[in-house]
Amino acid sequence: MVDEIKTSYRACHLCEAICGLEIKTQGEQVISIKGDKNDPLSHGHICAKAAALQDLHFDPDRLKFPVKRVDDNWVQISWEEAFETVAQNLAKAQDTHGQNAVALYAGNPNVHNYGSMTHGGILRRVLKTKSNFSATSLDQLPHHLVSYAMYGHQSMLPIPDIDHTQYMLIIGANPLASNGSIMTVPDVTKRLKAIQKRGGRFIVIDPRKSETANIADEHHFIKPGSDAFMLMAMIHTLFAESLVDTGHLEERLEGIDDVCRTVEPFTPELAESQTGISADTIRQMARDMAQIEGAVCYGRMGVSTQVFGTLCQWAIQVINILTHSLDVRGGAIVSSPAFGYVKPGDSGAGHFARWHSRVSGQPEFNGEFPSPVLAEEILTPGEGQIRALITMAGNPVLSAPNGREMDRALSDLDFMVSIDLYINETTQHANIILPPTGALEHDHYDLAFHRLAVHNTTRYNEPLFEPEPGTLHDWQILNGLGQKLAEIKGVDFKPSPAPDKLIDMGIQHGVYGESSGHDLALSLDKIKQHPHGLDLGPLQPGLAERLCTKSGQIHMNIDFILEDADRLQQSAQPQGTQELLLIGRRHVRSNNSWMHNYKRLIKGKPRWQLLMHPEDLAAHQLEDNSQVRIQSRVGEVVTTVQASEEVMPGVVSLPHGWGHKRKGVKMTIAAEQEGVSCNDLTDEKLIDAVSGNAAFNGVPVKVSAVA
């Protein structure tokens, strides 16, 4: 009997855009994957990644049952043996070396999987360790710290109202490759071109003429790591030219005079000398932000993962505030999701610098230390030294700075367990790997990305396939391991309900739920009745009533940020300083290091080469498409260089996530790919001094020919 063809609707989980999909299956086979034209957020758009969902699901390298490392081999074991072995070793590490001797590291894919989101804190609660790390501090930590400090909650992140904006200033972001990033925006190309069609403009500031810059009205090269000078000069201009208009938020602002005094030294002329962007251009961008109704300033990876990441993100918020571009149509607005609607009194607001890391004294944020200090916390002897590690869907060997040092640190551990689908550059060091089910085998609700979306929607995703007998979902693994740990440690433990039960409670008590009195009276059951998703309307102003600070004010004069302006001023370099600076880059097919084991994602022209401006090639006596050695303070790699006018002179660009040709990696297609890891060059000592976030952009390097 031939299985009938079944049509399912769900969101793609491979990036922040959460595009709606129409997937046709027949039995255990995928017949087609198309965009869901009835999805209220993506309207049928998908990118090349969506078709690769089937590659992930059917990948023969994907683990399904626990494995134990025996010498250089991996042996399948039972869940019972796995939980017992892991729990015994973690408890032993804490008994022998102290509570903080066990560390947890959570990678980026966790936020794309709601079981990890709802149950990820179980092991923290049972272990009670302060040694917690995540990919947050390799990415967007400055966003969260600034939102916590200014608005009172780490998740109160104003999102560009791109569907109504008339002027968008994009700094250090490439949404055509990222599909947004802290701005969930399917079909961003169409939405950006729509700005132009309605008579607006968008400007890109980037050391590389990126895919986004190619369709922008203007693109300006900027020296990597100097963005804070430009942003501070724009604020300076707003005050100097009496362009400040705080609109309806005027009575909610605290410390505006302190901001004015802080930016006084940062003239556009100083910014020109540091950034390479003319003083006239900087002044004009400030004027445009102030004079165009529906303007917004947006900055992402390039301004977060640098040595002034927190100062940059604060300055972006200040520019939006001072130009009446915050909490207005076309500006930056806090979203109103069905689950996770931020309002006063909510838990999870965050906290900062309550304790500091053992070796270099970096501050915690929301209970996590910055990931650049993980390796030193493992390798440095003394009380509190990390001796055991749990990783969850993370690959810090390729994603954290000084990856070779991280590699060495992981090999030094007494015990390591990974909750992961693959034996990759990081998990090869584990003693035991606990693989969860794949994305198409479990239900899903996008907890993080509805909060970051440019339009308010909600949708629930049913599983496509039944999981293989004997496999476990991630939340079941976390419950099971937590239970076993609690037994050994002699502490109480109550397993958490399934994720859909927790989400349903949150939705029913949310802004659209029954308890709110909203006409929709949403519950998860009601959302399930709409397989394409529900349109909850455009972004709506209302920040003043939702502020989570104790005073109910927006704090602009945050002491630890204003003080960092002195460091910025002292960092100014004489004009003509010659130094090659390394930046990263991403591609729409490979946002993350785990996306290179699928044929649909690695096909096409090679994209792992070093990009270098022709003038720099000539100055360093290098040939196009030749082998070059790149050296930084922490290491060196050898790769192919390509001449490219995409990058400005003085800048070289190496993409993130490559470098899979390593002993022990069991990812067949990835291991066949060329390319090196840019994080074998990035420096764990090069960080944002305020937050501890990694600085991946603006790394000093030398490039020379390979004999």
Give 336-355 pLDDT, tens digit per residue.
Answer: 999 999 999 999 999 999 99
| Residue 51: predicted pLDDT | 87
Beta-strand pair 455-458/534-538: antiparallel
Please report, rounded to a whole number, the percentage of residues in the chain having pLDDT higher than 90.
94
At a CB cut-off of 8 Å and minimum separation 6, what does 433 contact? Answer: 63, 66, 67, 74, 417, 418, 419, 420, 423, 427
Residue 577, pLDDT score: 66
Q: What is the DSSP letter of 458?
A: E
- Torsion sign over Cα 51, 53, 57, 63: positive
Of the candidates 491, 429, 388, 490, which has an alpha carbon nearest to the alpha carbon of residue 93? Answer: 388
Joined together, the tokens standing for residue 61 give 């390298």
Look up residue 402 and give its DSSP letter: S
Q: Please report which helix (H) or strand (E) contains residue 117, including its range.
A: helix 114-119
**How many whole angstroms separate alpha carbon 517 and alpha carbon 658?**
50
Query: Is the CATH number 3.40.50.300 carried by domain 5-58?
Result: no
Q: Is the pTM of this model over 0.85?
A: yes
Q: Specify the fold of 161-327+544-566.
A: Dimethylsulfoxide Reductase; domain 2 (3.40.228)
Question: In CATH, which of 3.40.50.1820, 1.10.10.60, 2.40.40.20, 1.10.150.20 is domain 578-705?
Answer: 2.40.40.20
Pairing of strands 102-106, 132-134: parallel
> What are the start and end residues of each CATH 3.30.200.210 domain in the chain?
5-58
Find the farthest-apart pair of alpha carbons in the chain and give their distance in angstroms, rounded. 78
Q: What is the pLDDT of residues 595-644, one digit of tens each?
A: 899 999 998 899 999 999 999 999 999 999 999 999 999 999 999 999 99
Q: With cut-offs at 50, 70 and 90, classify the pLDDT of residue 591.
A: confident
Q: Which pLDDT band, with edges at 50, 70 and 90, does 590 fall under?
A: confident
- CATH 3.40.50.740 placement within the chain: 67-139+345-446+460-490
Task: Quickly tell me which residue has 């607006």 as its tokens.
Answer: 200
Kindly state the tokens that stand for 664.
């022990």
Residue type, 592: N
DSSP secondary structure code for residue 262 in this structure: H
For 183-200, what is the HEC assignment?
A: CECCCHHHHHHHHHHCCC
From-to residues of CATH 2.40.40.20 in the chain: 578-705
Query: Domain 67-139+345-446+460-490 - what CATH class?
Result: alpha beta
Q: How far, in Å, CA of 469 to CA of 177, rounded? A: 38
C-alpha pair distances (Å), 209 with each of 219, 287, 486, 578, 588? 7, 24, 53, 21, 15
Can you give 483-544 as a three-state secondary structure string?
Answer: HHHHHHHCCCCCCCCCHHHHHHHHHHCCCCEHHHCCCCCECHHHHHCCCCCEEEEECCCCHH
| Residue in the structure block whose two tokens are 């922040």 | 16
Q: Name the β-bridge partners of 555.
A: 254
Structure tokens at 688: 């944002």
Tens digit of pLDDT for each residue in 402-446? 999 999 999 999 999 999 999 999 999 999 999 999 999 999 999
> pLDDT grade, residue 515 (50/70/90)?
confident
Average pLDDT score over residue span 388-404: 97
